[in-house]
């Protein structure tokens, strides 16, 4: 081979090698391009629908429009719960730059709490890009102006308006209306997320809670096309929210205020009921509290102060306070005794100042040392003779006592339209065996017959019982709501009326009138001291022991601390001829029903008579 | 058929196809390649208009870059290959010096120093390296008897490592990978023995953990991890991939229409006018257009390979081949990263993404292809 041939062969080899490598590269490229084409085919054709949904979810932003919550009015149309515009501070984190620095700056301006920052961080972990995360609700005007002044250095900070619940009458209605609060984790789990879209608060207590679903309304929606920064480019569709239903109550603010003021700063409760339909005219528990801070988030210091206060302002005494009814129960047992023939109006029982069961040395004392002497049933109610009712109680026996008291609603929830009412307790043999594992002793009957011992009742139950006496046995469920939206709230079925002989009703009601009017009536002096009444009233005083008094001790008010003094109770209804209003009053540690509780009841009834006399015929 | 006959016939056929062959040959231009590039750039401008919020200024600037690019392409096409081979070290050395200058006086962009400002013009010296390195490697290897021996490989490795190191300090992982790939293609086409290839692959595999531990910056690691699970970081690094695949997938067969892509028009798609521009095309014109674009690129690559195969000198073959393969890699890496197949590295879509440096560099590459092609015709 010549050198030229060799060179040529080298040249050819070299060319072949190159061509081979190029072909290999070409094949590799074909494979890679095939992968690429497959990937785009997969994304664009096979998974197309999936990505269309994603793209729409990206661009179409659904903003919930919270519905205006239903307003609450009293019977005369006075606004009790209102919605006011409030201002919320929120942060768009993408625009904030250095978030920690921003939070530090905001802290310097409006004092952020650790809890607020913690909640903010939790919320921001779940946000969409460019979504505003709320940091502080209900900015004060001062905070708003502070933020406005420093706006230039607060990138990403937004202040927006929305409706915030407001209670113009504050503590007077705090327990009845209840309050709104932030939806908490547990509520979040059980609530229908669609029904609460854009809604951040929920009724926590009182009527706000009981009528939550009616007051809430239906959220509206706004579909808008937004860009990646959350800016609305154009509105697509808007579905208006439906406002919650307005609630109009039987409650009369004037009575409520009168009742709250009449308690004069004492701990206690007043309940007033319309005898004719069970409508609750007043439901006051004192002391109250300002519910407004709860709506936007009460500070932990303020909340601790409410919790730790010895007056327990958050406790709704009217529907949840369980007190021994004491002598309040006597007219009920008097009715049972008369109706069953255990006593007649003429039956006389001697009161030596104490009562002793057969075969027992234990003396059940009368509140009046030395006793009342000979007593008829009327005298016993008017003067609140204990020994007479010890006798009546023992003669009737616990089964009949339990039956009649239960018929008047003791030991049974009234069914009022409020959450969490207490049932109180009307003891029976079965109850004692079940709850205490003990047999019923005759002594238990003695204590029960004057409303002591195991018996407890809420002020609401006592008012309902008074209304049942006033209406001669009609059983009506107490009701706060009168109309909801455009429709009347139907009365709840109250159950069978309490049947008793007319003479028995006449005697009991006459005796209760005697409590107010007779010379020896336990309430007469205190009520007469307030001036002449231009209407007739029937009532009954009661005193509930807070501490037990030993056999040979005497109750000495001067030696007892205020919180150990007896509770003062009073029930009343008026006018006697055609009762319209029934009232129950309890003043904690008020000592005597006559001197402290009765005047409160009169102030409330006076107010009712003064304001409702003119429309009496119309209702 | 002798080589001479082949060349002759090629010319005859070319004349039949192009008719006025003398003009094209005088220009040293390859009409087919020019036609394909024109189509590509036209499509690119239309998508750019949509991607850049209908910004006329941006489209006009890109048009200017393209004109500059085409001019440089034609100028480059005039350079005789012998001259190119002799002076191949010049752009390489210049590139090294410019990369050093970037280290010293460059400006920051997203935590990486890449840009160099020369008066009103800002450009990335690393881009220049993408042409300069294959050029110098080709020039060296073409001067050696094939196939490359171990000594040649050592020289080649040294030539590659200097710019690679400088680009990695910037740091610009994408460009580093592309430069390495370009150099590797030269070695591959030069006929490097398969055992060397395997050795290189083994070294690369061994180096990967070291790279991960000592070289890669946190943001680069995030990009790689994000590829594996975009949902892990929806608002951060994963955002780009989620948004780009959403844009592509929602385009369907035929797309949502020009200027109608919600992902791109409402700014959900990041970097829509630069690296992620293929997502805009896919969203607004659909799979059909993606397929069309891939075909266009494939034709350009085939043309490049044909030029390479037909080149009369080793230098021309190697140069044209490696430039074409590098071009393919650009296309493949860009389209793969936007579709979530590869980590997001800064690689623009050739001749479509907005950016002057990329257009100019690629144009010079095509100019070299044309120079190789015109040399083929000249040698009789």
Least confident of A320-324, B7-11, B81-85: B7-11
With 0-12 / 13-18 / 19 or more C-beta atoms within 10 angstroms meaning exposed / middle / buried, residue B369 is buried
User: Which tens digit of pLDDT belongs to each residue from B195-250?
Assistant: 887 887 788 778 777 777 776 777 777 767 766 666 655 555 577 888 889 899 99
Residues on chain A bordering chain B, Cβ-to-Cβ distance under 8 angstroms = 14, 17-19, 21-22, 25-26, 29, 32-33, 35-37, 39-41, 43-45, 47-48, 50-52, 54-56, 58-59, 129, 225-229, 233
The question of whether A327 is a catalytic residue gets the answer yes
Question: Cβ contact (<8 Å) for B147 and A226?
Answer: no
* Separation of alpha carbons B149 and B134, rounded Å: 18
Three-state SS for A531?
A: coil
Residues A241 and A295 in one domain: no
A47 occurs within a structural domain: no
Question: Distances from the Cα of B233 to the Cαs of B35, B223, B230, B242, in angstroms?
Answer: 43, 10, 6, 10
Question: What 3 state SS string does A136-169 have?
Answer: ECCCCHHHHHHHHHCHHHCCCEEEEEEEEEECCC
SS3 B351: coil
Structure tokens at B11: 């010319």
The three-state DSSP-derived secondary structure of A11-32 is HHHHHHHHHHHHHHHHHHHHHH
User: For residue B57, is the peptide bond before it cis, meaning its omega torsion is within 30 degrees of 0?
Assistant: no
**d(Cα B313, Cα B325) in Å, to the nearest integer?**
18
Banded pLDDT at B379 (limits 50, 70, 90): very low
Whole-number Å distance between alpha carbons of A415 and A123? 40
CB–CB of A228 and B247 under 8 A? no
* Chain B nearest C-alpha distance from A128 (Å): 8
Tell whether the torsion through CA atoms of B15, B17, B19 and B23 is positive or negative: negative
Q: What is the Cα–Cα distance from B361 to B372, expressed in whole angstroms?
A: 17
Q: Looking at residue A558, what is its pLDDT? A: 60
Q: At A497, which CATH number?
A: 3.40.710.10
Domain assignment present for residue A204? The answer is yes
The closest alpha carbon to A461, from A521, A504, A418, belongs to A418
Identify all chain B residues contacting A227, using CB atoms and an 8 Å cutoff.
266-268
Given the structure tokens 């239309």, which residue do they identify?
B46
Of residues A370 and A283, more confidently modeled: A283
Strands A72-73 and A247-249: parallel
**What is the nearest CA distance from A459 to chain B, expressed in angstroms?**
58
pLDDT score recorded for residue B378: 47
| Residue A554, pLDDT score | 58
- Do A494 and A541 lie in one domain? The reply is yes
Q: Which of residues 105-124 of B touch A (CB under 8 A)?
A: none
- Short-list B332, B330, B331, B305, CA closest to B320: B305
**Among A167-176, A253-262, B109-118, B278-287, which is the least confidently predicted range?**
B109-118
Residue B347 pLDDT exceeds 80: yes
Comparison of pLDDT for B249 and B343, the residue scoring more = B249
Q: Which of A591, A276, A271, A311 is nearest to A458 (CA)?
A: A271
Q: Does B53 touch chain A (CB under 8 A)?
A: no
With a cut of 50, say whether residue B299 has pLDDT above it.
yes
Nearest to A467 by CA among A592, A331, A611, A580: A580
- The reported pLDDT for the residue numbered A1 is 47
Residues A227 and A257 in one domain: no
Binned at pLDDT 50, 70 and 90, residue A6 comes out as: low
Contact between chains at A58 and B287 (C-beta distance less than 8 A): no
| Closest CA relative to residue A570, chosen from A516, A534, A511, A505 | A516
Q: What is the pLDDT of residue B106?
A: 62
Instruction: Report whether pLDDT(A616) > 60.
Output: no
ipTM of the complex: 0.88
* Average pLDDT estimate for A536-548: 84
- Which of A324, A320, A267 has its CA nearest to residue A547? A324
Q: Taking a contact as any Cβ pair under 8 Å apart, which residues of chain B between 156 and 195 contact chain A?
A: 185, 188-189, 191
The predicted pLDDT at position B110 comes to: 47
Q: How far apart are the C-alpha atoms of A381 and A377, rounded to whole Å? A: 6
Question: Between chains, do A54 and B308 touch, taking CB under 8 Å as contact?
Answer: no
Instruction: Quote the DSSP letter at residue A562.
Output: G
Contacts A36 to B, Cβ<8 Å: 294, 332, 335-336, 339, 341
Q: What is the pLDDT of residue A566?
A: 85
Per-residue pLDDT for A557 more than 70?
A: no
Say whether pLDDT at A233 is over 60: yes
Q: What is the mean pLDDT of residues A304-314?
A: 90
Q: Is residue A26 part of a domain?
A: no
Residue with token string 């109608």: B260
- Identify the bridge partners of residue A96 per DSSP, sorted by sequence position: none
Residue A519 lies in a domain: yes
List all residues of chain B from 208 to 267 with a beta carbon under 8 Å from chain A.
Answer: 235, 239, 243, 245-253, 262-263, 266-267
Provide the shortest C-alpha distance from residue A119 to chain B (in Å): 20
Whole-number Cα distances in Å, A280 to A26, A356, A418, A476, B75: 91, 42, 11, 11, 99
Quick one: pLDDT at residue A78?
A: 94
Report whether B94 contacts B128 (CB < 8 A): yes
Does the pLDDT of residue B15 top 70, yes or no? no
**Mean pLDDT value across residues B299-305:** 95
Q: Are residues A492 and A524 in the same domain?
A: yes
Q: What is the pLDDT of residue B253?
A: 92
Q: Which two tokens stand for residue A260?
A: 């709250």
- Average pLDDT of chain B? 82
Query: Structure tokens of B339?
Result: 């579709």
Contacts of B260 in chain A (CB under 8 A): none
Check A18 against B189: CB less than 8 A apart.
yes
Domain identity same for A298 and A438: yes
Q: B176 in helix, strand or coil?
A: helix
- pLDDT value, residue B145: 79
Would you call A39 and B268 a contact, using CB atoms and an 8 Å cutoff? Answer: no
From B98's Cα to the closest Cα of chain A, the distance in A is: 32
Tell me if A55 and B305 make a contact (CB, 8 A cut-off).
no
Q: CA angle at residue A368 from A362 to A370, to 5 degrees?
A: 70
| % chain A with pLDDT above 90 | 53
For residue A308, is it within any domain? no
Structural domain boundaries enclosing A175 = 62-249
Global pTM reads 0.64
The mean of the pLDDT values for chain A is: 87
Decide which of B217 and A345 is more confident. A345
Distance from CA of B41 to the nearest CA of A (A): 21
Say what the pLDDT of residue A412 is.
93
Q: Based on the domain organization, do A242 and A340 belong to the same domain? A: no
pLDDT value of residue A600: 93
Neighbouring residues of A70: CB distance < 8 A, sequence distance ≥ 6: A211, A214, A215, A216, A217, A243, A244, A245, A246, A247, A485
Residue A245 corresponds to which tokens in the numbers above? 């239903």
pLDDT beyond 70 at B119: no
Q: Given this model, what pLDDT does residue B101 score?
A: 84
Under 8 Å CB pairs connecting chains A and B tally to 125
The last residue of one of the domains, among A249, A266, A285, is A249
When pLDDT is cut at 50, 70 and 90, the band that residue B180 belongs to is confident
Q: Per-residue pLDDT for A368 more than 50?
A: yes
Q: Is A350 in the same domain as A407?
A: yes
A55: closest chain B residue by CA: B246
- Residue by residue, DSSP assigns A76-112 as T--EEEEEEEEEEEEEEHHHHSSHHHHHHHHHHHH--
Beta carbons of B314 and A14 less than 8 Å apart: yes
Task: Judge whether A324 and A455 are in contact, CB under 8 Å.
Answer: yes
User: Rounded CA gap, B344 and A231, in Å?
Assistant: 27
Tens of pLDDT, residue by residue over B333-342, are 999 999 988 8
Per-residue model confidence (pLDDT) at position B233: 57
Query: How many CB atoms within 10 Å of residue B366?
Result: 30
DSSP for A344-361, please give it.
Answer: -TT--EEE-SEEE-TT--
* pLDDT at residue number B380: 33
Instruction: Pick the residue from chain A with its C-alpha nearest to B293.
Output: A37
Q: Would A555 be classed as within a structural domain? A: yes
CATH number of the domain enclosing A199: 3.90.1310.10
Chain B residues with CB inside 8 Å of A229's CB?
267
Between strands A72-73 and A60-65, the pairing is unpaired
pLDDT surpassing 90 at residue A408: yes
The dihedral formed by the CA atoms of A239, A243, A244 and A250, expressed in degrees to the nearest 10: -160
- In the predicted structure, residue B160 carries a pLDDT above the cut 80: yes
Strand A268-274 versus strand A60-65 pairing type = unpaired
B315 close contact with A: CB closer than 8 A: no
Tell me, yes or no, whether A259 and A356 share the same domain.
Answer: yes
- Identify the residue whose tokens are 């929606």: A221
Other Cβ atoms within 10 Å of A22 Cβ, number: 20
Amino acid A619: pLDDT = 41
Contacts of A43 in chain B (CB under 8 A): 245, 248-249, 282, 339
- Whether A12 is in a domain gets the answer no
Q: How far is CA A366 from CA A355, A515, A586, B54, in A?
A: 8, 18, 22, 99
> From its phi and psi, is residue B8 left (phi > 0), alpha (psi between -120 and 50) or beta?
alpha
Query: Looking at residue B121, what is its pLDDT?
Result: 61
CB contact under 8 A, A43 and B294: no
- The verdict on A195 and A294 lying in the same domain is no
Hey, are the CB atoms on B247 and A129 less than 8 Å from each other?
A: no
Q: In the structure encoding, which two tokens stand for residue A283, read together?
A: 């439901």
Q: Is the link from the previous residue into A575 a cis peptide, with omega within 30 of 0?
A: yes
Mean pLDDT of all residues in A82-110: 84
Q: Which residues of A touch B247 (CB under 8 A)?
A: 55
Domain boundary among A249, A268, A291: A249
Q: Of B181 and A406, which is predicted with more confidence?
A: A406
Q: Are residues A237 and A284 in the same domain?
A: no
- Among A249, A266, A293, the domain boundary falls at A249
**How many distinct structural domains can be found in chain A?**
2
Same domain, A295 and A382: yes
Q: Return d(Cα A343, Cα A357) in angstroms, integer.
A: 19
pLDDT of residue B111: 46
Residue with the bigger pLDDT between B202 and A408: it is A408
The model's pLDDT over A237-283, given as tens digits with 9 standing for 90+, comes to 788 999 999 999 999 999 999 999 999 888 999 999 999 999 999 99
When scoring B244, B266, B269 by the number of chain A Cβ atoms within 10 A, the one with the most, hence best to mutate, is: B266
- Tokens 């006959």 sit at which residue? B5
Out of B146, B291, B317, name the one closest to residue A37 (CB): B291
Contact assessment for residue A56 and residue A49, using Cβ atoms and an 8 Å cutoff: no
**A207, A279: one domain:** no
Note whether residue A529 is domain-resident: yes
pLDDT at residue B43, as a whole number: 92
A452-506 pLDDT per residue, tens: 999 999 999 999 999 999 999 999 999 999 999 888 888 778 788 999 999 999 9
* Percentage of residues in chain B having pLDDT higher than 90: 32
Which among A90, A171, A327, A471 is annotated as catalytic? A327
- What's the rounded Cα separation, in Å, for the pair A399 and B238? 76
Residue A494: per-residue pLDDT? 79
Higher pLDDT, A587 or A148: A587
β-bridge mates for residue A274, sequence order: A581
A541 beta partners:
A570
Q: What is the pLDDT of residue A155?
A: 78
What's the pLDDT band for A3 if we cut at 50, 70, 90?
low
Contact A47 B325 (CB under 8 A): no
Give dist(CA A495, CA A491) in Å, integer.
Answer: 11
What pLDDT, on the 0 to 100 scale, is given for residue A252? 94
Averaged pLDDT, A52-68? 81
Cβ-in-10-Å burial (0-12, 13-18, 19+) of A611 comes to: middle
Q: Across the interface, do A225 and B266 touch by the CB < 8 Å criterion?
A: yes
Distance separating alpha carbons of residues B345 and B224, to the nearest angstrom: 9
Three-state DSSP class for residue A339:
helix
How far is CA B144 from each of CA A542, B151, B153, B187, B191, rounded to the nearest angstrom?
A: 121, 10, 11, 12, 12
């Amino acid at each position: 081979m010549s050198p030229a041939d060799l060179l040529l062969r080298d040249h050819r080899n070299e060319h072949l090698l190159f061509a081979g490598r190029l072909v290999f590269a070409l094949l590799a490229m074909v494979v890679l391009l095939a992968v690429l084409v497959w990937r785009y085919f997969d994304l664009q054709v096979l998974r197309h629908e999936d990505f269309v949904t994603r793209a729409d979810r990206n661009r179409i932003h659904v903003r919930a429009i919270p519905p205006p919550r239903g307003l609450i009015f009293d019977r005369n149309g006075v606004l009790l719960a209102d919605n006011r515009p409030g201002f919320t501070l929120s942060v768009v984190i993408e625009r904030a730059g250095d978030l920690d620095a921003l939070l530090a700056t905001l802290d310097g301006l409006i004092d952020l709490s650790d809890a607020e920052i913690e909640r903010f961080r939790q919320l921001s972990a779940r946000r969409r890009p460019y979504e505003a995360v709320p940091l502080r609700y209900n900015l004060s005007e001062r905070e708003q102006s502070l933020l406005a002044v420093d706006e230039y250095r607060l990138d990403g900070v937004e202040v927006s308006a929305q409706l915030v619940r407001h209670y113009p009458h504050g503590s007077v209605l705090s327990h009845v209306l209840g309050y709104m609060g932030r939806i908490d984790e547990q509520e979040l789990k059980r609530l229908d997320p669609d029904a609460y879209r854009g809604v951040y608060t929920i009724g926590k207590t009182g009527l706000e809670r009981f009528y939550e679903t009616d007051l809430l309304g239906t959220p509206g929606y706004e579909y808008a096309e937004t860009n990646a920064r959350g800016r609305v480019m154009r509105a697509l569709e808007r579905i208006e929210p439906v406002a919650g239903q307005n609630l109009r109550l039987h409650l009369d603010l004037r009575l409520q205020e009168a009742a709250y003021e009449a308690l004069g700063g004492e701990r206690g409760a007043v309940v007033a009921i319309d005898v004719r339909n069970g409508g609750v005219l007043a439901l006051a528990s004192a002391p109250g509290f300002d519910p407004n801070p709860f709506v936007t988030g009460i500070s932990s210091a303020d909340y601790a102060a409410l919790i730790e206060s010895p007056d327990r302002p958050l406790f709704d005494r009217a529907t949840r306070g369980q007190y021994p009814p004491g002598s309040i129960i006597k007219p009920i047992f008097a009715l049972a005794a008369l109706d069953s023939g255990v006593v007649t109006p003429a039956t006389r029982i001697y009161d030596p100042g104490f009562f002793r069961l057969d075969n027992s040395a234990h003396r059940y004392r009368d509140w009046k040392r030395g006793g009342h002497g000979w007593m008829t049933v009327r005298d016993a109610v008017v003067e609140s003779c204990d020994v007479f009712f010890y006798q009546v109680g023992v003669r009737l026996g616990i089964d009949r006592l339990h039956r009649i008291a239960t018929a008047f609603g003791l030991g049974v929830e009234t069914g009022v339209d409020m959450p969490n009412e207490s049932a109180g307790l009307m003891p029976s043999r079965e109850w004692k065996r079940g709850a205490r594992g003990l047999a019923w002793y005759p002594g238990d009957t003695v204590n029960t017959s004057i409303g002591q011992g195991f018996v407890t009742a809420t002020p609401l139950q006592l008012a309902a019982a008074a209304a049942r006496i006033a209406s001669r046995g009609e059983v009506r469920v107490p009701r706060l709501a009168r109309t909801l939206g455009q429709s009347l709230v139907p009365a709840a079925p109250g159950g069978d009326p309490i049947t008793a002989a007319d003479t028995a009703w006449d005697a009991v009601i006459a005796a209760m009138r005697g409590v107010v009017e007779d010379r020896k009536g336990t309430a007469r002096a205190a009520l007469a001291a307030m001036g002449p009444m231009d209407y007739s009233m029937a009532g009954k005083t009661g005193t509930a022991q807070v501490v037990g008094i030993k056999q040979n001790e005497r109750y000495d008010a001067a030696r007892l601390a205020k919180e150990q003094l007896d509770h003062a109770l009073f029930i009343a209804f008026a006018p006697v001829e055609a009762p319209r209003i029934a009232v129950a009053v309890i003043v904690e540690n008020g000592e005597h029903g006559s001197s402290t509780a009765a005047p409160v009841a009169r102030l409330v009834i006076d107010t009712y008579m003064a304001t409702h006399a003119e429309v009496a015929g119309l209702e | 058929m002798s080589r001479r006959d082949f060349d002759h016939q090629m010319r005859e056929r070319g004349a039949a196809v192009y008719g006025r062959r003398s003009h094209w040959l005088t220009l040293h231009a390859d009409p087919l390649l020019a036609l394909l590039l024109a189509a590509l750039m036209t499509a690119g401008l239309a998508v750019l208009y949509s991607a850049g919020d209908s910004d006329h200024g941006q489209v006009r600037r890109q048009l200017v870059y393209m004109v500059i690019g085409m001019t440089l392409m034609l100028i480059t096409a005039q350079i005789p290959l012998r001259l190119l081979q002799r002076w191949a070290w010049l752009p390489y050395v210049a590139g090294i010096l410019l990369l050093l200058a970037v280290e010293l006086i460059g400006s920051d962009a997203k935590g990486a120093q890449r840009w160099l400002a020369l008066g009103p013009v800002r450009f990335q010296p690393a881009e220049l390296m993408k042409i300069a390195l294959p050029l110098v490697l080709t020039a060296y290897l073409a001067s050696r008897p094939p196939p490359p021996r171990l000594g040649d490989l050592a020289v080649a490795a040294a030539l590659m490592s200097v710019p690679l190191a400088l680009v990695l300090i910037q740091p610009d992982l994408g460009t580093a990978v592309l430069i390495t790939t370009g150099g590797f293609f030269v070695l591959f086409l030069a006929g490097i023995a398969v055992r060397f290839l395997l050795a290189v692959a083994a070294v690369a595999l061994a180096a990967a953990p070291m790279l991960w531990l000592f070289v890669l910056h946190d943001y680069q690691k995030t990009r790689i991890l994000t590829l594996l699970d975009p949902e892990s970081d929806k608002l951060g690094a994963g955002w780009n991939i989620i948004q780009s695949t959403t844009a592509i997938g929602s385009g369907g067969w035929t797309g949502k229409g020009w200027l109608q892509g919600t992902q791109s028009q409402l700014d959900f798609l990041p970097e829509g006018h630069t690296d992620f521009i293929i997502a805009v095309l896919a969203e607004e014109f659909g799979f059909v257009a993606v397929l069309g674009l891939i075909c266009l690129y494939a034709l350009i690559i085939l043309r490049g390979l044909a030029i390479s195969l037909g080149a009369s000198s080793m230098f021309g073959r190697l140069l044209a081949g490696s430039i074409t393969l590098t071009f393919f890699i650009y296309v493949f890496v860009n389209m793969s990263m936007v579709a979530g197949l590869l980590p997001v590295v800064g690689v623009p879509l050739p001749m479509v993404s907005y950016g002057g440096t990329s257009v100019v560099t690629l144009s010079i590459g095509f100019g070299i292809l044309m120079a190789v092609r015109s040399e083929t015709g000249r040698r009789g």
